[in-house]
Structures are given as C-alpha cells and as structure tokens.
Amino acid sequence: MTENQIKKEKKWLYFAIGLIVGFLISAVAFVVFAMIQSQSKSFTKTIEHIYSRENTKDTVVKYVNVARKESETSQTNQLAESQDSVVVDEMPADYDEVDFSYAEEAGATEDVVVVDKIIAQKKLQVKFKNAEFKDIAATDAALTELEVQQWNTPIKNRITYRFTGNMLQVKGLDVDKMEVIYYDQHYYLSHHGNYYLLENNNTYEKLGSPVVLAAQK
C-alpha cells in the first residue's frame, strides 16, 4: 500500500469519527434540551395551578364577604322596620281583645293601638267560707288554687276579667291586693273589702258592681 493510499484512508477514518462524534453531541444536546423544556413546562403548570387556587380562594372569600354584608344590611333594615311597627308580646292563643286609646301627646290626631301584656302573675289559694262566712276546709267539687294574671290596660278606671278553668286574668286590679273566696257554690273576687261575682267566660268582661253577701247582712 502506497503512502498516498494510507493518507486517504486516515482522512476517511477521521471524517467518519467526526461524523459519529457530531451525531452523538447533537443527540445528547437534543435530549438535554427536551428535559429542560419538560421541567420548565411542569414548573409553569405548577405555578399556574397554585396561582389559580389562590385566586379561587380569594374569589370565594370575596363572595362570602359580599353575602355577609348583604345579610347584615338586610338584618339592619328588618330591625329598623320592626322598631317602627307595633311590638306584640306573647299572649294566649285565644286572646281576643285589643284596647284602643288616644295618644296623650299634644297634637296627636290618630288612634293608637295598644297591645296588652302580662305585668304580674301569681298563684292564689281559694278561701272557702261557710254560711256564717267563716273559714272551712276545701270542698271536693271546687278549685283550691287559681293561676292569676294581671294584664296592663291603657284605659283608666276600666276593670275587666276572664275566668276559664283555673286561670283568672284581670285588668285594672293589683294581684297583690286580691283574694278569691268560694262561698255558696260561687267564686268571688275580694279587692279592698269589696266582693265581686266571678263567672266562667271565654272573653274579657267588665267586673260587675260589688255585691253584698248574705252572711254580711
């Protein structure tokens, strides 16, 4: 083999080695670039996911705050409306009387509806009297105790009552100055030394005039 041939073979060998090395370098660079791109996309998605979650939380918080403000505004409006309306206290379901009175302020020209309410309540033991009006033991057919309620009323000098079962409701009287007696098979209300006949009723009625019991004559 001549020297020229040897040189040509070496050149081709170097050229082939250069091609192989270049190919390997290109392949390695491509793989590295692809890995960098993949990691960059994954990192970008992670950042976007975190940011979107934070924004979602902020949005939810904002919506909740708006709902709370609207609820507070609604409650404030309802409170203002309730302060301008008549306040109704609890009372028996069968309560059927509403008193009317004129406002006492100067210049008032309209009627004011006043809803009564309980201002005192106590239990009263019924006192039993015989024909001589002396204390005796309770009889089996009569009530021995009454639940007495004192209701307020804006109308002066008006005394009314309702007597149903063992419940006695009065207006215009002081329960602390009342007594209930059972005499001659009837119940009587005693107030300031006067006696008033009590009859069962379902609606408020005016308390009648004082009566003189037979034992007092």
Q: How confident is the model at residue 158 (pLDDT cuts 50, 70, 90)?
A: confident
Select from 85, 103, 129 the last residue of a domain.
Answer: 85
d(Cα 151, Cα 97) in Å, to the nearest integer? 12
Is residue 128 domain-shared with residue 73, that is, in the same domain?
no
Is residue 145 domain-shared with residue 194, that is, in the same domain?
yes
Q: How confident is the model at residue 157 (pLDDT cuts 50, 70, 90)?
A: confident
Q: How confident is the model at residue 50 (pLDDT cuts 50, 70, 90)?
A: low
**Arithmetic mean of pLDDT, 126-153:** 91
d(Cα 83, Cα 88) in Å, to the nearest integer? 12
137 domain residue, yes or no? yes
Q: How confident is the model at residue 88 (pLDDT cuts 50, 70, 90)?
A: very low
Closest among 151, 146, 199, 99 to 207, alpha carbons compared = 199
Is residue 121 domain-shared with residue 74, that is, in the same domain?
no
d(Cα 99, Cα 93) in Å, to the nearest integer? 17
199 domain residue, yes or no? yes
Is residue 141 domain-shared with residue 189, that is, in the same domain?
yes
**DSSP string covering 123-184, please?**
EEEPEEE-TTS-EEPPPTTS-SEEEEEEE--SSTT--EEEEETTEEEEESS-GGGEEEEEET
Q: What tokens appear for 180 in the block?
A: 């209930």
Number of H helices, E strands in the chain: 1, 12
| Host domain of residue 160 | 116-216
Is residue 56 domain-shared with residue 126, that is, in the same domain?
no
107 domain residue, yes or no? no
This prediction's pTM: 0.47
When divided into structural domains, the chain yields a total of: 2
**Arithmetic mean of pLDDT, 131-148:** 91
**C-alpha angle with apex 47: 43 to 50, nearest 5 degrees?**
135
According to the model, what pLDDT value does residue 68 have?
58
According to the model, what pLDDT value does residue 139 have?
86
d(Cα 63, Cα 71) in Å, to the nearest integer? 12
According to the model, what pLDDT value does residue 107 have?
45
According to the model, what pLDDT value does residue 43 have?
67
27 domain residue, yes or no? yes
Q: What tokens appear for 173 in the block?
A: 């009287």
According to the model, what pLDDT value does residue 89 have?
43
pLDDT digits (tens, 9 = 90+) for 5-47: 776 677 788 788 888 988 889 888 888 888 887 777 676 666 6
Is residue 5 domain-shared with residue 55, that is, in the same domain?
yes
179 domain residue, yes or no? yes
Is residue 205 domain-shared with residue 135, that is, in the same domain?
yes
**Arithmetic mean of pLDDT, 86-104:** 41
**DSSP string covering 179-207, please?**
EEEEETTEEEEEETTEEEEE---SS-EE-
106 domain residue, yes or no? no
Question: Does position 129 have pLDDT exceeding 70, yes or no?
Answer: yes
174 domain residue, yes or no? yes
Q: Which residue has the tokens 């006043």?
A: 114
According to the model, what pLDDT value does residue 114 have?
56
103 domain residue, yes or no? no
For 115, half-sphere exposure in the C-beta direction (CA atoms, 13 angstrom radius) is: 10
